[in-house]
Structure 1
């Protein structure tokens, strides 16, 4: 069906890269002329698709969601997720969660039929202490930048680290940052609420074998009880 093909085109274009009509046609098993018509339809619908015949097509901005019908249970799950992000994440994501919740409530009749969110299931003081450190950690993960960190473990021991941040995870109350610690020359998972100070170094890192997130996950999959899985409080 054409509607399915248009949806598939949107998913392909989400990567932000330039796609030739001939390549899209081969992938979707239609003619190049069909792709030209489909792209015209997407552009006419208001999607930020730019391009032309003989050059290619790409999405130039984030796109809006198509109409979605949600059940009450799906709406409750979505609302709880938004409330969790709004209460536990950094200021930028918290604001985005609030505005997203307002947009959903404005267009969904089901939103008014749901009971108030139970705030006790959400973030506590640990997440609030972690919040200031989340934006620089997220930025460093995205930019592959090393950070200098002052860390105080659960026993009160303070140490200075230079880390390669790889991943952030939220465990209901506690945020953790998985990183390659250059001091220990091994992976470590740090509780973000125990970080005292973070400073960018301006030094980037590449995906060296043995030091990547994929390497960490492979180690955890084969040896889930190794010490590096429980080093959030180690010096």
Structure 2
């Protein structure tokens, strides 16, 4: 039995909430007790809600196990917003629960996307920072669908503020942060903007037509070729 399959079987054994001795699990799975100890340590460090220790037994503490879910980007956005609100609540236990839930969601998000810049994550960007950009998501989504230019005020990482006109191409979620990949008219190049640093976003009346070198397909081709796309 592969280790991944064995770990899954262990979770199924523990789901009844009762205390299970390592020896009993070892006999059931056909492995050594020492193997059960190592696997239980792995489950615990992976965030599976298991309590217990060697010589006493193990039990799962979470009363609810959800089935697999398929979420749309808008549903993920709604979940993100809810965690942001709870993460800023005065209840320390709820704050910790929001952090734990966010980590679990991050762990199962698809990985078929470009790696985020080093250091992006909960510890560096708390929920309150990410929540600052939630109000802009509907406008950006509408602009992407209608191919409409946007004028915005943007504050970069150096705390410098400038007005930009962009052609928004796509939004992406990077573990509590949303970004917008766009063609920047000022830079005359593709740029990746953090949505929480946008302000005073306005839809411009004119629509943009796709021009060679400025489309999402061109952007993806440059990424595939190994080119770095600037972020601001």
TM-score by length of 2: 0.51
1:88 — aligned with what? Answer: 80
Structure 2 alignment gaps of length 5 or more: 1-63, 83-95, 103-125
Q: Does 1:75 align with 2:67?
A: yes
Superposition deviation, residue 88 in structure 1: 2.0
Q: Does 1:211 align with 2:203?
A: no
- The 3-state SS of whatever aligns with 2:180 is strand
- The 3-state SS of whatever aligns with 1:136 is helix
Distance 2:138 2:74 in 1: 18
Q: Does 1:166 align with 2:169?
A: yes
1:24 — aligned with what? Answer: none
> For 1:152-204, what per-residue CA distance to the aligned partner results, in whole angstroms no more than 9, with x for missing partners?
01110011111000000000121000000011110000000001220111110
Decide whether aligned partners of structure 1 residues 164 and 129 sit closer, same or farther in structure 2, where only a CA change above 3 A counts: same
Contact 1:88 1:131 in 2 (8 A): no
Give the length in aligned residue pairs.
Answer: 131
1:139 — aligned with what? Answer: 142
Distance 2:65 2:74 in 1: 14
> For 1:22-66, what per-residue CA distance to the aligned partner results, in whole angstroms no more than 9, with x for missing partners?
xxxxxxxxxxxxxxxxxxxxxxxxxxxxxxxxxxxxxxxxxxxxx
Structure 1 stretches of 4+ moved >6 Å: none
Superposition deviation, residue 127 in structure 1: 2.5
Distance 1:77 1:207 in 2: 35
Structure 1 alignment gaps of length 5 or more: 1-71, 91-116
Contact 1:152 1:194 in 2 (8 A): yes
Superposition deviation, residue 84 in structure 1: 4.4
2:231 — aligned with what? Answer: 232
1:193-212 aligned at under 5 Å gives the runs 193-212=196-215
Superposition deviation, residue 207 in structure 1: 1.2
Distance 1:198 1:213 in 2: 21
TM-score by length of 1: 0.50
Contact 1:146 1:200 in 2 (8 A): yes
- The 3-state SS of whatever aligns with 1:86 is helix
> For 1:132-156, what per-residue CA distance to the aligned partner results, in whole angstroms no more than 9, with x for missing partners?
0100000000000000010001110
Distance 2:74 2:199 in 1: 28
